[in-house]
Amino acid sequence: MEIFVVLVFVLGYVAITMEHTFKLDKLIPALLMMVLAWTGVAFGLDGFTNWFDSHAGKMLEGFSGMLHEERLHLLEGTLLHHFGKTAEILVFLIGAMTIVEIIDHFDAFSTIKSFVKTNKKRTLLWIVCILGFLLSAIIDNLTATIVLITILRKLLPEAKDRMWYAGLIIIAANAGGAWSPIGDVTTTMLWMGKKVTAGMLMEYLVIPSVLCLIVPLLAASFLPAFKGTFESVKHDEKENKHSKLMFYLGLGLIVFVPVFKTITHLPPYVGMMLSLAIISMVAELITNTKFNITNVADEMDHSIESAHHHISPTFRALSRIELPSILFFLGILMTVAALETLGLIFNFGQLVQASMNNEVFILILGAASAVIDNVPLVAASMGMYDMTQFPIDDHVWHFIAYAAGTGGSMLIIGSAAGVVAMGMEKISFFWYLKNIAGLALIGYLAGFGFMMLIHS
């Protein structure tokens, strides 16, 4: 039955990577592979000889001698454990996405445009990339890319010029997300999985991440595309009077989440829910909503209730979050959990450690994330290493966070930031490969080389 579970994962992953060819959203194969993988575990329960204890982080002793009822009870407990850990991540992401949508409801990201006060192309490149680096460390790299490309459209009328900037923004956004526990899904997974702490992650990865951006930026500054000046497009836009307040409040509340965890030692999603509650309350007060955001009055007229839902920033934000991405993460993480439960990932990790250096393997892992989604790669790597041998904040986890976060920049399909830029600016795969991939590679190697030097 192990072969069946592995086959389900392989076929499902092929369908995910070829979603554009099959015209099938990746959440569908992700959910199918999750159900089929755990069905395989349930049907083959009595035939398995290995079982990975996720609580202890090692193989379970005495599993082969267990009776059917004992194994069934163990399966239920293991499934509940993995679903609980996955739900923590998903609730955290839902909270973060909703806060970002509430910020956008007040057109607060237009505040960033005030930071651009130049007509030189090279200076503009540095400004937008530094903004992308900083912004993606607070919100996710996908949103940071969307915001900056939207701003670029208001500055640069020529699409061929924006393509070059978008390419460097992808590198900046991925580099910025790698050193922050809230900047990328993978770093959030490592943080919430107790593989790294927020403080040590930022301390060890901030310089490599800066190098990952600065080296390509220095090289790109001498390219013809960033020489000369530009004339920005004139727009008569009415600024929302609450935009700056909501921009700084929203970003501040997201940054507060790691601080809340450090003070209370509660899981990160609890702090994110607190931040969501605060910004929702402020948003509702600003819009002068007369009704609570929850339906507590049965006698309330349906038309009034519907109208309230329409004007409420919180309800609007909740309707705009990327639920397909949430379901995709659910499918992927629970499928990897099934592989981990059977000990397949742990045994593979032991084989890798015996055959090659950990740093070399992680370097390859980062390069693979340019082709394969980094979420399952990190999810799998978290089950490869024995926590007694590689405790929290071991250098291995920091290497994984950096490699998975920045390696995807080498191909435009290797990260969410790249895929969204590809769609927004109609960037072709081969144009990016020819013009931007080399810059991303030297940045990736520069940051990784620095980490190797410090570790040695």
Q: Which carries the bigger pLDDT value, residue 185 or residue 451? A: 451
Give the pair of three-digit tokens for residue 34.
């999750």
In the numeric block, the tokens 């009822």 are attached to 69
**Averaged over 324-339, what is the pLDDT?**
88
Q: Which pLDDT score is estimated for 296? A: 45
Q: Which carries the bigger pLDDT value, residue 369 or residue 231? A: 369
In which band, very low, low, confident or very high, does the pLDDT at 299 lie, cut at 50, 70 and 90?
Answer: very low
- Statement to judge: residues 74 and 151 lie in one domain: no
Domain range enclosing 432: 2-85+324-455
**Averaged over 216-229, what is the pLDDT?**
92
Report the alpha-carbon distance of residue 201 to residue 447 in Å, rounded: 14
| Domain-embedded: residue 299 | no
Number of Cβ within 10 Å of residue 448's Cβ equals: 22
Number of Cβ within 10 Å of residue 359's Cβ equals: 17
In the numeric block, the tokens 């099959």 are attached to 22
Q: Which pLDDT score is estimated for 303? A: 44
- Statement to judge: residues 393 and 262 lie in one domain: no
Report which secondary-structure segment, H or E, holds 266: none
| Domain-embedded: residue 316 | no
| Residue range 247-273, pLDDT digits in tens | 899 999 999 999 999 899 899 999 999
Name beta bridge partners: 59.
Answer: 52
Q: Which pLDDT score is estimated for 234? A: 62
Q: Which pLDDT score is estimated for 38? A: 95
Q: Which pLDDT score is estimated for 290? A: 46
What backbone phi and psi angles, to 5 degrees, belong to 236?
Answer: -95, 90
Question: Are 443 and 216 within 8 A, CB to CB?
Answer: yes
Q: Which pLDDT score is estimated for 377? A: 83
Cα–Cα distances in angstroms (integers) from residue 12 to residues 344, 381, 448, in the given order? 17, 19, 31
pLDDT over 60 at 217, yes or no? yes
Report the alpha-carbon distance of residue 42 to residue 39 in Å, rounded: 5
pLDDT over 60 at 293, yes or no? no
Please identify, among 257, 283, 309, the residue that sits at the C-terminal boundary of a domain. 283
pLDDT over 80 at 177, yes or no? yes
| Domain-embedded: residue 207 | yes
Closest by alpha carbon to 201, among 44, 396, 406?
Answer: 396
| Residue range 40-99, pLDDT digits in tens | 999 988 888 888 887 766 788 888 888 888 899 999 999 998 999 889 989 998 998 899
- Statement to judge: residues 81 and 215 lie in one domain: no
Name beta bridge partners: 58.
Answer: 53
| Residue range 43-60, pLDDT digits in tens | 988 888 888 887 766 788
Q: Which carries the bigger pLDDT value, residue 220 or residue 353? A: 220
Q: Which pLDDT score is estimated for 54? A: 76
| Domain-embedded: residue 231 | yes
Question: Are 210 and 232 within 8 A, CB to CB?
Answer: no
| Domain-embedded: residue 310 | no
Q: Which pLDDT score is estimated for 307? A: 45
Report the alpha-carbon distance of residue 379 to residue 85 in Å, rounded: 12
Question: Are 135 and 147 within 8 A, CB to CB?
Answer: yes
In which band, very low, low, confident or very high, does the pLDDT at 235 lie, cut at 50, 70 and 90?
Answer: low
**Averaged over 190-197, what is the pLDDT?**
91
Amino acid (1-letter code) at residue 317:
A
Number of Cβ within 10 Å of residue 298's Cβ equals: 5
Q: Which pLDDT score is estimated for 207? A: 95
Pairing label, strands 58-59, 52-53: antiparallel
| Domain-embedded: residue 417 | yes
Give the pair of three-digit tokens for residue 374.
């980094």
In which band, very low, low, confident or very high, does the pLDDT at 336 lie, cut at 50, 70 and 90?
Answer: confident
The long-range contacts involving 6-14, CB below 8 angstroms and separated by at least 24 positions, are 6/339, 6/344, 8/33, 8/36, 8/37, 8/40, 8/335, 9/33, 9/37, 9/335, 9/336, 9/339, 12/36, 12/335, 13/372, 13/376
Instruction: Please report, rounded to a whole number, the percentage of residues in the chain having pLDDT higher than 70.
Output: 92
pLDDT over 70 at 297, yes or no? no
Q: Which carries the bigger pLDDT value, residue 4 or residue 113? A: 4
Q: Which pLDDT score is estimated for 441? A: 95
Nearby residues of 105 by Cβ (< 8 Å), 6 or more positions away: 246, 283, 313, 316, 317
| Domain-embedded: residue 379 | yes
Name beta bridge partners: 120.
Answer: 229
Question: Are 352 and 390 within 8 A, CB to CB?
Answer: no
Q: Which pLDDT score is estimated for 302? A: 44
| Residue range 16-25, pLDDT digits in tens | 777 767 777 8
- Statement to judge: residues 107 and 227 lie in one domain: yes
In which band, very low, low, confident or very high, does the pLDDT at 236 lie, cut at 50, 70 and 90?
Answer: low
Report the alpha-carbon distance of residue 362 to residue 368 in Å, rounded: 9
Mean pLDDT, the chain, whole residue set: 86
- Statement to judge: residues 81 and 106 lie in one domain: no
Q: What's the total number of domains in the chain?
A: 2
- Statement to judge: residues 236 and 366 lie in one domain: no
- Statement to judge: residues 75 and 160 lie in one domain: no
- Statement to judge: residues 144 and 223 lie in one domain: yes
In which band, very low, low, confident or very high, does the pLDDT at 301 lie, cut at 50, 70 and 90?
Answer: very low
Please identify, among 232, 266, 283, the residue that sits at the C-terminal boundary of a domain. 283
Report the alpha-carbon distance of residue 342 to residue 116 in Å, rounded: 53
- Statement to judge: residues 64 and 148 lie in one domain: no
**Averaged over 408-417, what is the pLDDT?**
86
- Statement to judge: residues 80 and 127 lie in one domain: no
Please identify, among 283, 299, 316, the residue that sits at the C-terminal boundary of a domain. 283
In which band, very low, low, confident or very high, does the pLDDT at 414 lie, cut at 50, 70 and 90?
Answer: confident
- Statement to judge: residues 118 and 216 lie in one domain: yes
**Averaged over 191-220, what is the pLDDT?**
94
- Statement to judge: residues 61 and 190 lie in one domain: no
Q: Which pLDDT score is estimated for 291? A: 46
| Domain-embedded: residue 296 | no
pLDDT over 80 at 456, yes or no? no
pTM of the model: 0.81
